[in-house]
Amino acid sequence: MVMITTIKTLYNPEKVNIGIVHIGLGAFHRGHQAVYVEKNMNRHKGGNWSISAANVRSNAELVNQLTAQRCQYHVAEYSDSENATLREVNAIGEAIFAGDDKSALFARLLSTDTKIVTLTVTEKGYCLTPADKTLNKNDPNIQHDISFPDQPKTAPGILVEALFRRRALGLAPFTILSCDNMPSNGALIRQAVCELAAYRGTEFESWVSHHVAFPSSMVDRIVPAMTEHSLARLQQELHCTDPNAVMCEAFSQWVVEDNFPQGRPDWEHDGVQMVKDVHPFETMKLRLLNGSHSLLAYLGLAANIQTVAEAVALPEFVTLIRRYMTSEAMPTLNMPQGVNVVEYIETLIQRFSNDSLQHQLSQIATDGSQKIPQRWLSIVEENIVEENTAEEKTVTPVVALGVAAWILYMRGKDASNNEHPVNDPLAEEFNALHSKYDKPEEFIRHSLASKSVFPAALNNNDGFYQAVLSAYQSLLSKGAMATINAMSFQ
């Protein structure tokens, strides 16, 4: 039996105005940002900050389904398997699928009412090279957007074209707010937009860099992708038959850099932390929460485990992530003022144990090449610089084990040679490396030399190489559980 609390919309959705355009309409947007906007409009009984939410590549089906329900949907927030809040949300005023025809999206982006454009386009949507964070000019979609700027395919290309047209019309720009899991995400979208804008002339590029604000933000809520199974559970447990509902944890956090020259909702009254510097929050969350998630994903999958809650039900995994967080990640963090790191870590472990979510490890494992640089590799890099050890001994054995498990996953075959799909932009590159170098020594050396993922300091670092190699060999010969055991209790 689940105890259900229900929360209804308190404003008339027909009487609000759209002020935010969001690109990347998935479960996370519906369960996180849209809920903060909903709370804001509930408090004001309406307002001008309703959202026009767009998908530009995939998921036209969700757009159609939402439109069929006038964009009303529900968010089921589970504190645990016995307590949930079912929230009605009307904060999305319209849903747009901007595939080949982007006219509806551009109409919104050019509206004088649009003050903010928010993004959840995932790490790869920024079209930056993971290792050095500059625009990836080898990306065919970026090449397309450089050659045909008025028919953009990428998120940075769409933003540049919209800003170009706004400037030509004499309109003020909008503020671009990144809500993706990357440190300094505002600076990253600025980098992509400005590099691309430079192809439209230096004058325009200078207008963008002087007039467009790119605040950073740290977003946090565990919102797994919806499945038939989770929809069926909502129906059974909460009597909710909404096909667009999302299921998530009760916890939610949004820390936003307060830099909105075109105006913003008064989110500080809705639980959003509006701050001057988001960076300490971002690194804390990425290295502790997301870094642990990635460890659970690659090692859990190697041990044939399917969900986060199943992994942390095993004491070995809890010991492993606790050790990673306290001995490897924590020493590199400048914790935000007022946050107690020990409590933060314990809360994370509790959040991971929320078994009502059934958060699939395979979902977290997606796009690892875009995720591990900011989650793990920056930790190793900083440790190397700080230690400056002559013998190059690695001080981050758990990250080395994680990297070994990631490389194993990227082969597309587990230790027993059972195949699995690899959903990652660099899947082919790593598959080719594996076919070319069948000796573990060579495969690992060449994998770590991949400049698309590993920073220069790790391309040829002997201590790190030895640690990854021995972990990889142990994963192959002893399997994941024995490897973790040997490491956690040594």
Amino acid, res. 198 = A
Q: Listing from the earlier edge strand, what are the strands of the sheet with 217-220? A: 217-220, 253-257, 273-275
Identify the residue among 121, 193, 212, 222 touching ligand CS2 (CB under 6 A).
222
Residue whose CB is less far from ligand CS2, 40 or 290:
290
Measured from the CB of residue 289, what is the shortest distance to ligand CS2 in angstroms? Answer: 6
Measured from the CB of residue 286, what is the shortest distance to ligand CS2 in angstroms? Answer: 8
Beta carbons of 348 and 301 less than 8 angstroms apart? no
Element (H, E) at 365: helix 361-365
Q: What is the DSSP letter of 336?
A: P
> Applying CB under 6 A, does 220 fall inside the site for ligand CS2?
yes
Residue whose CB is less far from ligand CS2, 84 or 289:
289
> Applying CB under 6 A, does 307 fall inside the site for ligand CS2?
no
Per-residue binder mask for ligand CS2 (CB under 6 A), 343-382, x = binder = --------------------xx------x-----------
Stretch touching ligand CS2 by CB under 6 A, among 98-106, 131-139, 217-225, 386-394? 217-225
Identify the residue among 136, 181, 216, 244 touching ligand CS2 (CB under 6 A).
181
Q: String of b and e for 8-39 (b: at least 16 CB within 10 Å)?
A: eeebebeebebbbbbbbbbbbbbbbbbbbbbb
Residue whose CB is less far from ligand CS2, 9 or 59:
59
Q: Which of 426, 427, 446 lies closest to 436 in space, CA to CA?
A: 446
Identify the residue among 29, 74, 166, 221 touching ligand CS2 (CB under 6 A).
221
Angle at 336 between CA 307 and CA 24, to 5 degrees: 50
Beta carbons of 224 and 307 less than 8 angstroms apart? no
Residues near ligand CS2 (CB under 6 A), total:
10
Query: Cβ–Cβ contacts within 10 Å for residue 316, how many?
Result: 17
**What token pair was written down for 348?**
């994370």
> Applying CB under 6 A, does 287 fall inside the site for ligand CS2?
no
Residue whose CB is less far from ligand CS2, 163 or 399:
399
Residue 224 CB partners (closer than 8 Å, separation 6+): 27, 230, 247, 248, 357, 358, 359, 360, 363
> Applying CB under 6 A, does 293 fall inside the site for ligand CS2?
yes
Stretch touching ligand CS2 by CB under 6 A, among 220-228, 229-237, 261-269, 342-350? 220-228
Residue whose CB is less far from ligand CS2, 96 or 398:
398
Residue whose CB is less far from ligand CS2, 124 or 371:
371
Cα 251 to Cα 291: distance, rounded to the nearest angstrom: 18
Stretch touching ligand CS2 by CB under 6 A, among 97-105, 285-293, 314-322, 398-406? 285-293
Beta carbons of 403 and 369 less than 8 angstroms apart? no
- Binding residues (CB under 6 A) for ligand CS2: these are 181, 220-222, 289-290, 293, 363-364, 371
